Amino acid sequence: MASLPTISEAAENVQNADSLLEPIRVTSDLPALAAVTLKGGKVISQGAVGFRKAGNPTRVTTKDKFHLGSCTKAMTAHLCAVLLEEKRLDRETTVLKAFPEMAKTMHSAYHEVTLDHLLSHRSGFPGESWLKGHDFGETRRFSGSPVEQRMAYLRAILKEAPDAKPGEKYIYSNRNFTVAGVLAERAAKTSWEMLIEQKVFRPLKIGSAGFGAMGLFGKVDQPLQHLLDGEKRVVIEPGPDADNPPSLAPAGTVHMALEDWAKFVQDHLDGLRGEKGTLTSDLYRYLHTPLFGGEYMGGWVKTKREWGGGNVYTHTGSNTQNFAVVWMAPTKNFAVLIATNQGGDAAAQACDQAAAKLIQTYLL
C-alpha cells in the first residue's frame, strides 16, 4: 500500500484551498465548506471555510469532522470485501441461507438475493428506507442494541414485496447496504460498528471516525448539522435522533475528518491502479466493476470523464442535514473530496462547484 496521505507530515507542500472554497460557500449561503485534493498519492490541497454553527463565530478547521452520509456505503462494501477475503462471507450465499430462521416470514422473491445484488442495488428492494404504510420515523421504533435494531428492521423489510425481481432493475435503496451490514454481522458475530472500526478504519490509521451526529449536545466542538425548512435554516443539535437510526447505519451514518476520508479514498485509488492496498487486487476489481449491466457497485458509480482520463468513480452522501461528494480518477491518481454541514439542493450544487474548481485548479 502506498504511504497514507497526510497533511501533518508535509504541511509546507499542501496548498491552502480556502480562497477557492469561500466564494462558493458565501454565494451558496452555507455554514461551512471543506475539501481535500489527492494527487500522486498525497494530499496536495486542503481547505475549510465558514462556521461550525450558523450564527456562531466558531470557525471550522481542517481537523473537524463532517458527515459522509451515503459515502458510508463504500466503507460497508469494503468491510464485506475483507470478510470475503477471510472467507467469512461468500458471494454465492443467499439471504435465505444466511438467515434460515426467517424462511417462513421472508418474501420468496428475496430467497436468492446475494451480496452481488445488495452491493449493486439490484435486490429488488423498494427505494424507501421506511416500511410501507409508515413514515420515516417508524425506522426508529426498533429497540435494543444497534445489532438488535438492525435485525428487527431486516425481519420487517424481508416480509415486504419487492419492487422488482433480483438482478432485474437498479433501485437505489438504503435497505441493500443495511442488509449487507447485517450479513457482515452474522458472518463475523460482531457489530457492524466494531467490524468497520477493526477491519476498515484501523488498518488505514483512521482515528477520527464516528457514527451519527458530530460533536456533543450543547457544545460547538464540531460542525453542527443544518436543515433547510423552506427558506428557514434550522440548526440540528447532536443527539440520538439527529441522524439516521442505527437500523440504517451501514448505509450512511459515518463521520470523520476529511484527511481521514482521504486515506480511504487513496486506498481505493491504489487498488485500482494495481498498487498494494489493504485488499487484494481481485477484491478492488470486484468493488468497482458494476454488475447486471449497470453503473453502480460497492458504493461507487462508475462513469467516464475526459478530465479523469477515462473511467472515474463518484458518490454523494446526505442525511438531509449535510452533504458530501467524492470524485476519484485512478488513471490520474487523483481525487477530490468535499463536504458541508447543511443539506439541500444548494449544498449539493456548491459541492459540485467546489469539485469542478478543484479539478480545474489542481489537475487540468
Side-chain half-sphere of 160: how many Cα atoms within 13 Å?
A: 21
In CATH, 8-73+196-362 is 3.40.50.620 = no
Domain segments of the chain as ranges: 8-73+196-362, 92-189
Q: What is the pLDDT of residue 12?
A: 61
Beta bridge partners of 303: 312
Q: Which of 193, 231, 195 is nearest to 210 (CA)?
A: 193
Each residue's pLDDT, cut to its tens digit, for the chain (364 residues) gives 555 665 444 456 899 999 999 999 999 999 999 999 999 999 999 999 999 999 999 999 999 999 999 999 999 999 999 999 999 999 999 999 999 999 999 999 999 999 999 999 999 999 998 777 666 566 667 889 999 999 999 999 999 999 999 999 999 999 999 999 999 999 999 999 999 999 999 999 999 999 999 999 999 999 999 999 888 999 999 998 899 999 999 999 999 999 999 999 999 999 999 999 999 999 999 999 999 999 999 999 999 999 999 999 999 999 999 999 999 999 999 999 999 999 999 999 999 999 999 999 999 8
What was the pLDDT predicted at 130? 79
Please tell me the predicted confidence (pLDDT) of residue 340.
98
Please report the pLDDT score of residue 4 as a whole number: 66
Residues 6 or more apart in contact with residue 173 via CB below 8 angstroms: 121, 123, 125, 126, 127, 128, 129
Q: Are the C-beta atoms of residues 356 and 339 closer than 8 Å to each other?
A: no
Picking from 157, 211, 206, 217, the residue whose alpha carbon sits closest to that of residue 182 is 157
Predicted local distance difference test score (pLDDT) of residue 106: 97
Residue 139 is predicted with a pLDDT of 63
Lookup: cell for 184: 457482515
